[in-house]
Amino acid sequence: MNMLRKLVLSLIIFSSFEILAHDKLDYPTGGEVFHPGDVITIKWEILIQHNQENWDLYFSKDGGTSWEVIKENMPVSTLSYDWTVPDMETTNAKIKIVQDNVDYDYSDESGNFIITSGGSGGILAIAQTDLTFGYIEPNQSQTQGLAVMNTGSDQLKILSLSDLNAPFSATSDNLPIVLEAGGKTTVSITYAPTRDGTSSQKITISSDAGSSEVNLKGMALTPASAMAATCYAVTGLKDGGRLISVDMTSGKASLIEDLDLDLSTAVASDDGGFLYVIDAEKDALFKADIASGEVVSVYDLMMDDVSIDFSSDGTLYIIGVPTSGDRQMFFLDVASMDLETIGPVSQRITGLSTNPVDDKLYGITVDGELYLFNKDDGSSSMIGSSGLSNVTDLAFDADGVLYAIYGGGKASDNTLAKIDPSDGSILSTVGNLGFTAVSGLTFTPKTLSEQQPLEVPTHRIAVYPNPTSERLTMDFDKLPSVVSIYSLSGSLVFHTRPKNTHLIWEGVNLSGGKVANGIYVLNVDFADQKMVKKVVVER
């Protein structure tokens, strides 16, 4: 492989933790409403060719608990099938297509769809297609009502609500609900985050006249006066590994949740409330929402011995060994999913971290040798050696203090140490983590204005749209003296002294470049008060 050419990364959005989709069911996808006797054309496609023998097609009436044969041993060239909907009532119907291969079979299945015998003159109408929960603190909750109406001339039967995962939940009257013409009911949606970050899901409301989707979005952030950098780590055990938080005073770690991964070996966090975790067994990079723990996407890296960390501009730097090739440094644009080769790396790096104070990139070897890397070409210079053994990762906190994990294994717990970045020596041992095979360490950024507690607002500020993809508009009831916007790592991206009460930010930093996706802090200084609002950029 020519390592100087651009490597394009395949982004796979997946459900039920199916990592590599080798075939894909195109129709039905879920949420449809069919009637007994309807003839629908089931369609599928091949994503990855194999030594295939045939296709098998199955139907489930109970959400995938059991499966019935529709048609087996169909020719490889067949990519559709006309199916007559059976005479039954269910809100949990599914279709599954199986790529029957000589060696290993692959499958894809639809989401739940509905089979109902009722024809309806009713019309399903939802009051809104987007339901957003504003910033609330973790471990608090907020509930909003979603109006569901029948705007038709006949009865409408509300059959089901799709399942939601934490931190969202939905409650309604006992289903099914019959709405007369002009009638309405309310579905209550609750957002109850446990950690900082953003969460997005969809809820599908299905009726005998069709279904509608509503986008749910929640944003949780600890107030600036209370929020501090949080240290996360992952274990690399082959039982799935674990996500843990680390007390930086004692070094003691606490279990957050088990990860549904095979072999976690590295972790990094961005400014937008997401963790990126390497699974060495799958050769993949997983993106997980810190707030919900939900894995939202996976990138097929096809590398071994991978270390990762973000720079202050949101670029993910990677050192690893491609499937065919030598160890290299790369950078990944997580917005476009493009992986660019920077240059060769001679050392076997087990940990990578960017110092947020000066944005310099450091790496460490398993034997505790500390290196400073050139992010332009991948070259490095050795700073010094800590003398530690079995070093698995290192990470800077928001103040530029460097920590490393060492020791551990199958029988003994790992230890957290503080490292001097100027010469690589040990400054102090923080303590024992209480977990074995800890393989990744990262700090989430702390907010910049910890010294400024949030006050009861006396002024009105309108910020819209929020989240924004490009332009952010701000309206103030009185003229502020200064308006500034910072990233969560403390970088100033916008600063002005307004001349009127209407202001626009184009989503760019002080150099004119587009800012990365994530959470930002808007500081507004009035003569009598400083106010803080949270802004989310999502493109």
Over 70: is that where the pLDDT of 116 sits?
yes
What would the mean pLDDT of 276-287 be, rounded to a whole number?
82
CATH 2.120.10.30 for domain 230-444, yes or no, is: yes
For residue range 161-213, list pLDDT tens digits in order: 888 998 999 988 788 888 888 888 989 999 998 876 678 899 999 888 888 89
Return the closest-CA partner of residue 115 out of 209, 36, 212.
36
For residue 376, is it left (φ>0), alpha (ψ between -120 and 50) or beta?
alpha
What are the C-alpha distances in Å from 265 to residues 338, 413, 437, 451, 506? 22, 16, 9, 36, 38
What confidence tier does 7 reach under pLDDT thresholds 50, 70, 90?
very low
Partner residues linked to 42 by β-bridges? 81
CATH 2.60.40.3080 for domain 461-537, yes or no, is: yes
Mean pLDDT for all residues in the chain: 82
Q: Is the peptide bond before 457 cis (omega within 30 degrees of 0)?
A: no
Over 50: is that where the pLDDT of 19 sits?
no
Chain region(s) in the chain for CATH 2.60.40.3080: 461-537
Question: Which segment, 39-48, 257-266, 289-298, is predicted with the most confidence on average?
Answer: 39-48
Reading the block at residue 462, the tokens are 């309108």
For residue range 365-424, list pLDDT tens digits in order: 999 999 999 999 999 999 999 999 999 999 998 778 899 999 876 557 789 999 999 999
Over 90: is that where the pLDDT of 61 sits?
yes
Reading the block at residue 283, the tokens are 């050769």
Q: How many angstroms separate the CA atoms of 398 and 396, rounded?
A: 7
Which percentage of the chain shows pLDDT scores above 90?
Answer: 31
Looking at domain 124-220, which CATH architecture does it have? Sandwich (2.60)
Among the four given CATH numbers 3.20.20.70, 3.30.700.30, 1.10.10.10, 2.60.40.10, the one describing domain 14-115:
2.60.40.10
Tokens 């490393």 sit at which residue? 404
Please list, in sequence order, all residues whose beta carbon lies within 8 angstroms of the beta carbon of residue 513, skipping any fewer than 6 positions away.
Answer: none
pTM (two decimals): 0.46
Q: How many angstroms separate the CA atoms of 165 and 275, rounded?
A: 18
What confidence tier does 307 reach under pLDDT thresholds 50, 70, 90?
very high
Question: Which segment, 21-25, 58-62, 310-314, 518-522, is predicted with the most confidence on average?
Answer: 58-62
For residue 356, is it left (φ>0), alpha (ψ between -120 and 50) or beta?
alpha
What are the C-alpha distances in Å from 406 to residues 51, 249, 264? 45, 17, 16
What confidence tier does 30 reach under pLDDT thresholds 50, 70, 90?
confident
For residue range 480-508, list pLDDT tens digits in order: 888 888 876 566 788 888 888 899 999 99
Over 60: is that where the pLDDT of 1 sits?
no
Q: What integer pLDDT is reported at residue 509 of this predicted model?
A: 85
What confidence tier does 5 reach under pLDDT thresholds 50, 70, 90?
very low
Q: Where are the alpha helices (DSSP H) in 53-180?
A: none
How many residues in total does the chain contain? 539
Which percentage of the chain shows pLDDT scores above 70?
Answer: 85
Chain region(s) in the chain for CATH 2.120.10.30: 230-444
What confidence tier does 31 reach under pLDDT thresholds 50, 70, 90?
confident
What would the mean pLDDT of 460-471 be, rounded to a whole number?
86
Is there a contact between 523 and 483 (Cβ–Cβ < 8 Å)?
Answer: yes
Partner residues linked to 417 by β-bridges? 404, 429
Q: What integer pLDDT is reported at residue 354 of this predicted model?
A: 92
What confidence tier does 261 reach under pLDDT thresholds 50, 70, 90?
confident
Is there a contact between 92 and 129 (Cβ–Cβ < 8 Å)?
Answer: no
User: Which has the minimum average pLDDT: 59-63, 139-143, 256-260, 295-299?
Assistant: 256-260
For residue range 324-348, list pLDDT tens digits in order: 889 999 988 877 778 889 999 999 9
What would the mean pLDDT of 137-163 be, rounded to a whole number?
86
Q: What integer pLDDT is reported at residue 242 of this predicted model?
A: 79
What confidence tier does 12 reach under pLDDT thresholds 50, 70, 90?
very low
Q: What integer pLDDT is reported at residue 455 of this predicted model?
A: 43
**Residue bearing the bigger pLDDT, 259 or 254:** 254
Tokens 């006992």 sit at which residue? 174
Return the closest-CA partner of residue 270 out of 515, 538, 516, 494.
516
For residue range 72-107, list pLDDT tens digits in order: 999 999 999 999 999 988 888 999 999 999 888 889
Q: What integer pLDDT is reported at residue 232 of this predicted model?
A: 80
Is there a contact between 178 and 157 (Cβ–Cβ < 8 Å)?
Answer: yes
Q: How many angstroms separate the CA atoms of 14 and 282, rounded?
A: 14
Q: What integer pLDDT is reported at residue 450 of this predicted model?
A: 38
Q: What integer pLDDT is reported at residue 156 of this predicted model?
A: 87
Question: How many other CB atoms are found less than 10 A from the CB of residue 27?
Answer: 13
